[in-house]
Chain A
Amino acid sequence: MDVRAQVAMVFHLDKCIGCHTCSIACKNLWTSREGTEYMWWNNVETKPGTGYPTLWEDQDKYRGGWEVKGNQLRPRLGPRLGVLSQLFYNPYLPVMDDYYEPWTYDYETLANAPAGDDQPTARPVSRVTGRYIDLEAGPNWDDDLSGSTTYARNDTNLSNLTDAERASLFQIEQMVFFYLPRICNHCLNPGCVAVCPSGAIYKRAEDGAVLISQEKCRGWRFCVSGCPYKKTYYNWRTGKSEKCILCYPRLEMGQTSSCFHSCVGRIRYQGILFYDADRIEEVARAPESELVEAQRSIILDPKDAAVEAGAKKNGINDAWIDAARRSPIYKFVKDWELALPLHAEFRTLPNLFYVPPLLPVINATKKGVYEIAETDYFGAIESARVPMKYMASLFSAGNEEIVKKVLKKLIAVRSHRQSKKVGNISENQANALLVEAGCTASEVEQIFRMTSLPRYEDRFVIPPYQRERDVETAPDRTAIKQKGQTGLGFTQAPRRGP
């Protein structure tokens, strides 16, 4: 057992309002520079939809993540040697059309236009060419089912659905959408690290953050292909790739990442997990329908004495062990089994877990009048608007039972509280739902509290980084020396690597 600590995340999609405050919190801090305009380290997608960059989930197109060939786990892009041989030819890279051409407007014309016979207006201008541009794509082009004919209907997750199921999904009485916020998953088995020809990408030992060294990166962009989530981006100004850094400068100060801080839907949780690094490859190789369960199994119980000993052996201190024990992520992922990895079949073992959304009960129109089917008070999972197949394609590598179980538990929590606070649902009904969901009253109370009442310190349990120790790992640095010179010097972008 090789116990490692990992900063991990939960997004509660039933609370997500798709506001994108997270995206902008990130953009303001990290990607509002030239060369990074099109980078959305955090983005929010409307589902069904094709996402950003468009159709990123389609690994036939992009060859990201891992596949099992025989008994071998290997990058879809090919083994490392194969990658090197393609250094100057990578047909699986997204191109500008898969992203968008960043633009601005000639705002100045409003104040500066000479007297004329009509009103001036500011037109969109490409940030790449500086010329007027005809806008045809953006980073959130299909927001809230915009252009459903073009985007929502081409969601790759719909490919398993029957034609009838697909057609009904776009009848207004039955349709649905929800939001999928995404950041880098800081995977246990990152696709980007595996294919980097320069060895510029590494996983930080202390917290598992996956970073691209801005000194070593040589801009080959294989990470862009290798990441099945398309969460690394090429900076056209510096010639290096960049990606979500999990706001490590903030984590190091005990603050949650900025997209978490700013989440106004309060859907986000952050904390650490302990996992067994010895088992990564084995888990990543599991059969598809067992991947979710396998990933759960690699997460270690921080209260377990052997785990504690293993953690200490690896230099993880008491405060971190304590943080792991208080981690809301552990509760959601392991204790309650409510939060699931996105596209486990990519086999990168992502560390961002999603609680799938509940959706309104389904209705039907009869003779032009809208009818409601008789359902339970909150609606039954069986009559949910979105086919379970679709949800399973996203969150459980196709295993519908896993998603169903989560949704039933959410209904059980709500019904239990309804019964207790109001009584439209009887105690017997509520208890029956508990049994069906396989959980106890005390568990649903805990879930309720963590969903409805958490304070900042409940949602984000950030372990204390001891920067003085980290600083002194570098041979030429001591904490006392750094104290006097922190921040001095010239601020400039790192040079291109050797």
Chain B
Amino acid sequence: MSWIQDITNPKERQWEDFYRNRWQYDKIVRSTHGVNCTGGCSWNVFVKNGLITWEMQALDYPDFATEIPPYEPRGCQRGISFSWYIYSPIRVKYPYIRGTLIDLWRNAKKLHTDPIEAWTSVVENPDARRSYQQARGKGGFRRTSWDEVMEIVSASMLYTARKYGPDRVVGFSPIPAMSYLSYAGGSRLLQLFGGVNLSFYDWYCDLPPASPEMWGEQTDVQESADWYHAKYVAVMGSNLNMTRTPDVHFIAEGRYDGAKLTVLAPDFNQVAKYSDWWIPLNAGQDGAFWMAVNHVILKEYYVDRQTPYFTDYVKQYSDSPFLVVLNKNGANYQPGRFIRANTVSRYKNIENGDWKFLVYDLKSGEARMPKGSIGSRWANKEKGKWNLEMKDALDDAELEPALTFLDNSDEVVQVEFTDFDKQYASFRGVPVKRLTTEQGTVLVTTVFDLMMARFGISRGLAGDYAASYDDDKTYTPAWQEKFTGISRETVMKFAREFASTAESTGGKCTVIIGAGINHWYHNNLLYRSAITALIMTGCIGRNGGGLAHYVGQEKLAAVAPWSTIAFAQDWAAPPRLQNGPSFYYVNTDQWRYEGSFTDYNPSATDSYLAKGHTMDMQVRAARLGWLPSYPQFNRNSISLVEEARKAGAQTDEEIIKWVVEQLKTKKLRFAVEDPDAPENWPRTWFIWRGNAIMSSAKGHEYFLRHFLGTHSNAVATEKAEGTVNDVEWRTPAPTGKMDLVVDINFRMDTSALYSDIVLPTATWYEKDDLNSTDLHTYMHPLSQAVPPCWESKSDWEIFKLIAQKVSELAKTKFPEPVKEVVASPLQHDSADEIAQPEVKDWTKGECEPVPGKTMPHLRVVTRDYANLYQRFVSFGPLARQNGIGAHGVRWDIKEFYDELLEMNPVQEWSGNRYPSLNTATEAANVILHLAPETNGEAAYTAFQHEQERVGLPLTDLVEKVRDVRTTFKDLQTQPRRLLTSPCWSAIINNGRTYSPFCINTERLVPWRTLTGRQQLYHDHEVYLAFGEHLPTYKLNPTPQQYGDNVQSKPDGNTVMLNYLTPHGKWHIHSTYYDNEIMLTLSRGIEPFWISEQDAQTIGVKDNDWVEVFDDHGVVVTRAVVSARVPKGVCIFYHSPERTISVPRSPLRGNRRAGGHNSLTRTRLKPVLMAGGYAQFTYSFNYWGPTGVNRDTHVMVRKLQGKPVW
């Protein structure tokens, strides 16, 4: 190659080795990031000279279909900057404890040899307790040793169990999918102990309640590759480019395959920039827009002309043809409940007849009972009828259900609908049939006819119907203009493009939706309005169609074996799983700061079910078994068993009976009825893998005040006194409920800073673990590239260490196993779903208290504290005995369990052998071997079980993959694609992308709802009372109604703005927010985005310091003034820490200003506490109110003077 010499002397090019040397490395290890971003990206971690030097995306996802863009590369700016953390100065390298506490402890240890006695002497001395509580968050950490700190932690746990009960030991860790075993280590310890795991998905407000409402499903969504199949994509409240960074290319690539992208967003955000059409509707008004879209779709595709694809779809896959009773109310009618099959003579004696429903069959001209309702699901006698065949469940006759009675009604009656935006009732004509029942004649109509009336679609019937689209009546395109600021023509054009695409493609329209919608108070209604459009256009259960909700990494693919291990159900059941929103609302005393919810949330009726204070609703939900409630009783659950025995109870049944009697006579109370009594406080709190005190802490300042007992910047006044009925009011409110807060962390974040003890944990490049997400269909490993740095240990090892110490200390105080009473709510995906056909309150004498029927389950559970460690490391016998399962599918695993004893390491003790869970890697292999998603034979077995109940063949879906087995090492070599599984609802054979509910539409497996169909209509009595039986529009609470700014008065240079906290570009929650690279690429701080107009009003220029405040707290940061932000709103990206660059606030006494959650307070939407009924039955992270915060308004002013540090 002589020509090189023409240019440069080769000798002078030898320096090029300088950069070549940098590119050399010693080792590559595959890992990922265990952060709640839904990415689940495959990364190569590079190790050179024993140090992690950088990471790059691995590009070796198995390609499963050539006509779909590949997944490579996955990984974003945040992921690729993670290696900074490993050796960074924010790394927690050693165990730390606050100086005040360690001094108290060491002194106590001098006086007490027994650590539990020592701990007792510290926490039962009020001055001592107050002194270390008030020091929380204020520096003064000292390094300590693992030995010393383990003793404190274990002593605190055992002290709490003895004094108050194990259910006062609580733990918070979010999103197991992002690192299965790191979560499971802590939850397993807690559940073996009798402690409580707090939920996260609902608390983070990631759970879309509309999904359980309409589908009986927590969340099940498309993998991102499926977007590519969509031919119309509407994005709302989801800034894909910013938050779905590794996935958004599928959208761009779909656009070049003919898809149109329309974005609904108030600001000109990153995905709006990417779109074909940006519709800038007013913040939080997406519901009004979609209601009008539905109006157009129903009018043009169901009335003006029939669209066979749509009508066939809704008849088979939605509750549209099901019959609803209309109840007489004065001269008019109100929508009532679904008519029960056993009310007509033909089905009088059928099994579970209260839980089977009717359609009007055009063939026979009579009401008929199709298969698939929830009563068929939980049938003991008549099995095999839980499917979506439109056949009479009695005699298999083909049915032809009437969608409407428009042409063959017996009469038309006026039905009442509340138009919440106007706060009055409208009456609209609805065609009905008279139906003869055992109780007499009733009027029934179809859900579809009610929908047409609810949406105001004129079909020539009398009543308050809109004359045209231009008529400003519910819910026309003209009607929505005043809310959305969007023209009626826009709505019409959008609706037509959407529906016609669905019609011509067979349902390939996708709505991508996110936190921007899900964080509003009325999020369930916003979602329902969009889902309704998808159902009415046949887009659910189709590749390329559906509701794609991505808020949090909820998809734990191998859920069945994982939940068995994580909640220690291989040793004891049930676990104590608490819905976080209720827990924090109750126990951080945020309920004390609000009055009646009807101040801002109107209901349709005067029913007691929809009036009052949210706290009373919470108490009712606890008593009726609708929601969990821990701490559970006002007495120690261990002592309770001892007392029962003293009272003569021998067997478990007798103990339960005694407890029920105690409750009935009010000698025993639910702790939630008096949450501020010291015996009812949670006492020991573990936080790991999350930032419970800052990032997710809606009402952060109340956490500081009531949980921690340290300073708080809240100035709100208490309002609940006199408005609460069922709860004890104590003054003053307690501060500092927690005895001990332990944070397990690799970062010194806000939660670490405010905890008593900080334990150093391994990062995601220093441990083995599993990871999965809903954005793709691969199983991922986390792998150890270097050993845990400094003194850190993996979460699994840390909890094992605690288990070991607890077992050791228990030898004196709990030498023998003890029994305790565990209360748990009625459970979704179990026969509990058909426990309560009507709402009856045993505390009011409306029925008898019957555990598991009219009240929570009560069960006696044995704790073996001395053997807790042995149990921790052994996969216990109950798994073999009871099988495993998820989502209502349960199967036997004996064969697989025994294989594990042969193939994998074992534990032997007390003469028994168990598959070993000693290391996280071993636990991962147990999970992979048992999961239908990673073991073909397990999938086959699980489908075998499922097809028996369904009564249609299903095993053929996995016949070809029966020999697939996956080990942890396989995953480290290359990510593996999941198998089709009955625990999930897609069919991903033969290169198909994951789209949920395909198994329902194609294999006729019912949805897990009341009718087994997609549920447009909700007849739970609480829903009827709130007027949320059908999709509807409710106004967002106004700032005045919401009352965030009663004490915080504006001065001349203050502006009030709607406080939006979408997910940011430079962090995943607070992780990466403190990362030097991310801070450098942003503004070195989390800035406050404000419009040019609003900035001008308060005299703020770009990069000026501003003070943002309301009654809950204050934030001091710098302003970003941008033309892309509309007037009236501000954006403060979720979520900054108080640890980075936060000055003091002159407004709040020159104390350190807070973070984004300093400006929020929790409000729970009571309708979401309704329970005990079909899909409205509790499951962890599945049901319950969510931690909404989007309706908050804040005051903003320029910071006076220079920032003070």
Chain A interface (Cβ < 8 Å from any Cβ of B): 14-15, 17-21, 23-25, 27-30, 102-105, 107-108, 110-124, 135-136, 138-141, 143-150, 152, 170-173, 175-178, 202-206, 211, 213-216, 245, 247-250, 252, 258, 261-266, 314-315, 358-361, 363, 366, 368-372, 377-379, 413-424, 447-448, 451-456, 469-470, 473-475, 487, 491, 493-494
Contacts and interface: CB of A to CB of B under 8 A. Distances in A.
B1031 interface: no
A422 B505 contact: yes
A178 B274 CA distance: 8
B252 A148 contact: no
Most A CB atoms within 10 A — which of B66, B70, B1084? B1084
A456 B79 CA distance: 20
A424 B69 CA distance: 23
Contacts of B21: 487, 491
A487 B139 contact: no
Nearest to A430: B258
Contact of A17 (B88, B241, B260): B241
B147 interface: no
B1084 A135 contact: yes
Contacts of B54: 28-29
A379 B1 CA distance: 53
B69 A452 contact: yes
B140 A114 contact: yes
Contact of A19 (B7, B77, B135, B258): B77
Contact of A135 (B89, B268, B275, B1083): B1083
Q: Which of B70, B72, B99, B139 has the most CB of A within 10 A?
A: B139
A33 to B, nearest CB: 9
B619 interface: no
B828 to A, nearest CB: 37
Nearest to A213: B15
B76 A122 contact: no
Given A245-B19, A249-B20, A315-B3, A27 B1077 contact: yes
B678 interface: no
Contacts of A29: 22-23, 54
A145 B487 contact: no
B276 A23 contact: no
Interface stretch (B56-64, B580-588, B871-879, B917-925): B56-64
Contact of B249 (A15, A211, A423): A15
Interface stretch (B424-432, B813-821, B1118-1126): B1118-1126
A113 B277 contact: no
B83 A28 contact: yes
A119 B67 contact: no
Contact of A360 (B24, B256, B278): B278
A121 B711 CA distance: 15
B80 A28 contact: yes
Contacts of A147: 1102-1103, 1120-1122
Contact of B88 (A107, A138, A141, A417): A107
B662 interface: no
A360 B684 CA distance: 53
Contacts of B67: 453
B237 interface: no
Contacts of A143: 1065, 1081-1082
Nearest to B245: A19
Contact of A149 (B66, B92, B137, B1092): B1092
Main secondary structure of the interface of A (DSSP, over half): loop
A417 B83 contact: no
A257 B20 CA distance: 13
Q: Point out which of A102, A378, A469 has the most chain B C-beta atoms below 10 A from its C-beta.
A: A378
A77 to B, nearest CB: 23
30 contacts: A17-B270, A18-B241, A19-B1065, A20-B1081, A25-B80, A29-B54, A30-B22, A105-B1076, A107-B89, A110-B753, A114-B140, A115-B138, A117-B138, A118-B1151, A118-B1152, A120-B753, A121-B1152, A135-B1084, A140-B1080, A143-B1082, A144-B270, A145-B268, A145-B1122, A148-B1122, A173-B280, A262-B80, A264-B75, A265-B248, A448-B256, A470-B1
Contact of B258 (A418, A469, A491): A418
Given A115-B100, A115-B135, A149-B1092, 8 more contacts: A21-B77, A23-B77, A115-B140, A124-B1141, A143-B1081, A150-B1102, A261-B56, A378-B276
Most buried by B among A14, A135, A136: A135
B256 A417 contact: yes
Contacts of B70: 455-456
B1 A473 contact: yes
From A113, A265, A487, residue with most partner B Cβ within 10 Å: A265
B1063 interface: no
B279 to A, nearest CB: 7
B74 interface: yes
Interface residues of B, number: 138
B526 to A, nearest CB: 19
A249 B258 contact: no
Contact of A122 (B228, B260, B486, B1140): B1140
A118 B138 contact: yes
B57 A18 contact: no
Contact of A20 (B77, B272, B1102): B77
Nearest to B136: A119
B24 A264 contact: no
B231 A421 contact: yes
Contacts of A377: 260, 497
Contacts of A213: 12-13, 15
Nearest to B140: A115
Interface in B1-59: 1-8, 10-16, 18-24, 53-57, 59
Contacts of A144: 270, 1065, 1122, 1124
B273 interface: yes
Given A24-B80, A177-B273, A452-B254, A424 B249 contact: no
Contacts of B249: 15, 17, 264-266
Nearest to B1118: A135
Contact of B1082 (A119, A138, A422, A473): A138
A475 B69 CA distance: 48
B810 interface: no
Contacts of A170: 1092, 1123
A465 to B, nearest CB: 11
Contacts of A420: 258
A206 B23 contact: no
B181 to A, nearest CB: 27
Which 7 pairs, one residue from A and one from B, show the smallest C-beta to C-beta distance?
A: A115-B140, A113-B139, A418-B258, A417-B258, A147-B1102, A28-B54, A452-B253
A17 B274 contact: yes
Nearest to B228: A452
A249 B74 contact: no
B485 interface: yes
Nearest to A256: B59
Given A202-B8, A361-B276, A264 B1082 contact: no
Nearest to A420: B258
Contacts of B1151: 118
B1123 A414 contact: no
Interface in B696-730: 711
Most buried by B among A117, A144, A423: A144
A140 B1084 CA distance: 10
Contacts of A469: 1
Nearest to A12: B252
Contacts of A148: 1092, 1121-1124
A27 B70 CA distance: 26
Interface in B1152-1177: 1152
B56 A258 contact: yes
Contacts of B1085: 124, 135
Contact of B1139 (A121, A203, A371, A474): A121
A115 B139 contact: yes
B63 A455 contact: yes
Contacts of B862: none
B1142 interface: yes
